Chain A
């Protein structure tokens, strides 16, 4: 684990925190805490064991164990995060999450049933019910995200004082929907500003005791850091569309007559454009470049956003800055892909052996019908194991690295401001967590 290693000035943070080992700290550190203000003390092996055990229990309890697993995961991450010598504490319990889930079920059942009945009654229009329901569920999802954040904050205790969050989740959801529409309309260009605005909303409603948070990251700053990536992904895509529309004689489509189905239309159209296949192929190849860039750049993008986000966090007079390295995050993804490939290889071997055994042994014992059911059960089991395996590997590589590295590269200016905070705030219900769970928008 690396401790804070600052070159002198922190970009973006505005406040300078000296490395703990240098002689003249502008912010005096208490002598007993010489190791650096923020560190992660968790053991990767212990975390992996926790995840593997959790995955097995998830499988045998049809997922009910998830409340216990996510509580364990949070406890592990929180407790092993040490700020200025004192570790964070997570006070949430699995039963709270379970109750939150039950409340969410109670809220969602009437909504689902209502949508179903409406779809039945509307006939043809009912088919579009799915599309109409999507914004409603997205809205609920944003509501849940905000409320879940509130739950997690009020269950986070540091030095005998809890964090808490005010603000209306409804207003946040409206706000978030507005920004997401804008992001779609601007093909992603509004993303930095959306992030900045939503984070400002969240942070200005975030408190540690009586210390109020705020967010100082600027959308322009993130745009500046990310625009090259955006161009790398967008230019080939736009280029391929432009190329295809310029190279193909679209006017010939008007002259096509007597075509009753798509195949006939295509045949006449390609007759008018002898190089149609070649042109479309080239355009597809260029567009594929976009996809490749997007996949390769995703970890970089994530790291850039994360560093920008941490650099913007403030609580009272306390300023946080990050020296997060893109390479570390990238390497964690490489490890994820490597382990996933290994798991996939093992899974394929096991599946082949299983199929052969079934073909040889099973046919003589069981009838056709039960063999089919056995096959489906086997396939489902296989799928569950693979999905849980991937998710465990992801948690143990990418997620853990992100948390550990983000924590280890954080520098905090004006730490003494955390020494005399007065307690405030009350624990909130886990409704948001439950909704987020039921709507599949869960966070940590």
Chain B
């Protein structure tokens, strides 16, 4: 038996035509009930289309028309399946195509990770120096506002967040300004520096784009010599000089873009983007901190201070933690201290600040 019943839609109207389908040697012939040939489809032109399990739905490859032939007769369907090589009823061809896609996606992901780890920082490194200082200053103002909102958690018992404004704190503020002016002259940066001490218990300091430096009260309390405090300031000035804040903003934007675009509608993609960014960025941070350490040591040498002081304060506080991150942004402290000691010159000049100034500075927060 080479013929059986089928339903034919001619693609011009929705009329359902009960037809006889004849599986001839070279082509499928569609015959109306009165015996007239409605269409003749060569086997090579046949295409199997999405249909329920018990139905063979055929169309033609070569035409844009939506002509359809539907066959429920399993015997006839199996015969057509054998005659027409192009029919992919079991879906083998499509599965093969999909495997290819999945394999290439793997390759693309690998390449994406490489771009994220090596490409984005390279681009950010080259872009950051090109950003005009005026833009960097604007950026600094915006970031400054957000960072302040994040840090100022109103735990200062009614006193202002910034230290150095009350009358008994003013001497400390002047001492800090003198130290900063000395370091600024030595650093010769194209951007003015602005260091402030704020009431936070952590022993930390942060540098923002645009030359803003925040020193936390906790750091001043734990520093045992003016050189230690100056060394931390020198490290932060290193971040400003290397334009690390701007670079990290460029990197964050680039990485969000890279991962965000790719992941698209993927459920919960947003969180994955942030996590991926954190991991990749904390990897960048290790190099950045090492560079700032070196800069800090050199700047200390320029002002005649003790570069090794950066190592001693690091050892005491166990690494400077910039901001609130889940990953340690600093290379393991021991290795850092070794690198610092290797690069440091012996102390040559006068003390970085007078003993009176140092006493005043330790009381900058009252």
Q: Mark B150-168, 1 if CB is under 8 A from A, else 0.
A: 0000100010000000000
Q: Which of A3-11, A12-20, A53-61 lies on the face that meets chain B? A: A53-61
B185 within 8 A of A: no
Q: How far is the CB of B53 from chain A (nearest CB, A)?
A: 8
B9 within 8 A of A: yes
Interface contact A420-B13, CB-CB below 8 Å = yes
B92 within 8 A of A: no
Q: How far is the CB of B275 from chain A (nearest CB, A)?
A: 5
Q: Which of B74-82, B198-206, B266-274 lies on the face that meets chain A? A: B266-274
B52 within 8 A of A: yes
Residue of B135, B145, B271 near A124 (CB, 8 A) is B145
A121 within 8 A of B: yes
Residue of A124, A377, A422 near B141 (CB, 8 A) is A124
B338 within 8 A of A: no
B124-176 with Cβ < 8 A to chain A: 135, 138-139, 141-142, 145-146, 154, 158
A2 within 8 A of B: no
Interface contact A372-B266, CB-CB below 8 Å = no
Q: With A and B bound together, what is the CA distance between A348 and B139 in angstroms?
A: 42
B16 within 8 A of A: yes
A86 within 8 A of B: yes
Q: With A and B bound together, what is the CA distance between A242 and B14 in angstroms?
A: 61
Q: With A and B bound together, what is the CA distance between A63 and B112 in angstroms?
A: 13
Q: Mark A9-33, 1 if CB is under 8 A from B, else 0.
A: 0000000000000000000000000
Q: How many A-B residue pairs have CB under 8 A?
A: 168
Report the interface size class on chain A. Answer: 35 or more
Q: With A and B bound together, what is the CA distance between A86 and B69 in angstroms?
A: 12
Q: Which of B217-225, B257-265, B294-302, B341-349 lies on the face that meets chain A? A: B257-265
Q: How far is the CB of B212 from chain A (nearest CB, A)?
A: 14
Chain B residues, CB < 8 A from A79:
50-52
Interface contact B13-A120, CB-CB below 8 Å = no
A366 within 8 A of B: no
Contact A384:B272 (CB < 8 A) given known A41-B52, A161-B13, A369-B332:
yes
Q: How far is the CB of A233 from chain B (nearest CB, A)?
A: 27
Q: How far is the CB of A268 from chain B (nearest CB, A)?
A: 12
Interface contact B139-A120, CB-CB below 8 Å = yes
Q: Mark B63-103, 1 if CB is under 8 A from A, else 0.
A: 00011101000000000000000000000000000100110
A104-121 with Cβ < 8 A to chain B: 105, 112, 116, 119-121
Interface contact A380-B276, CB-CB below 8 Å = yes
Chain B residues, CB < 8 A from A157:
66, 68
Residue of B70, B135, B264 near A120 (CB, 8 A) is B135
Contact A105:B158 (CB < 8 A) given known A121-B135, A423-B66:
no
Q: Mark B8-51, 1 if CB is under 8 A from A, else 0.
A: 01111111100000000000000000000000000000000111
Q: With A and B bound together, what is the CA distance between A122 and B142 in angstroms?
A: 9
Q: How far is the CB of A96 from chain B (nearest CB, A)?
A: 14
B2 within 8 A of A: no
Chain A residues, CB < 8 A from B68:
89, 157, 159-160
Residue of B50, B101, B105, B138 most packed against chain A (CB within 10 A) = B50
Q: With A and B bound together, what is the CA distance between A101 and B55 in angstroms?
A: 32
Q: Which of A134-142, A169-177, A259-267 lies on the face that meets chain B? A: A259-267
Interface contact B51-A422, CB-CB below 8 Å = no
Interface contact A62-B138, CB-CB below 8 Å = no
B109 within 8 A of A: yes
Q: How far is the CB of B88 from chain A (nearest CB, A)?
A: 13
B312 within 8 A of A: no
Interface contact B16-A86, CB-CB below 8 Å = yes
Contact A422:B13 (CB < 8 A) given known A120-B138, A391-B267:
yes
Interface contact A60-B332, CB-CB below 8 Å = no
Other CB < 8 Å A-B pairs besides A120-B135, A423-B11, 9 of them?
Answer: A75-B50, A89-B49, A124-B138, A157-B68, A161-B11, A264-B158, A367-B332, A380-B276, A442-B265
Interface residue ranges, A against B (CB under 8 Å): 41, 57-58, 60-66, 68, 75, 78-80, 82, 86-87, 89-91, 94, 101, 105, 112, 116, 119-124, 126-127, 157-162, 209, 260-264, 367-369, 372-373, 376-377, 379-380, 383-384, 387-388, 390-391, 418-423, 436-438, 440, 442
15 interchain pairs, CB-CB under 8 A: A58-B267, A60-B106, A62-B112, A62-B266, A66-B266, A79-B51, A90-B50, A121-B135, A123-B142, A159-B14, A159-B15, A160-B14, A162-B66, A383-B268, A384-B272
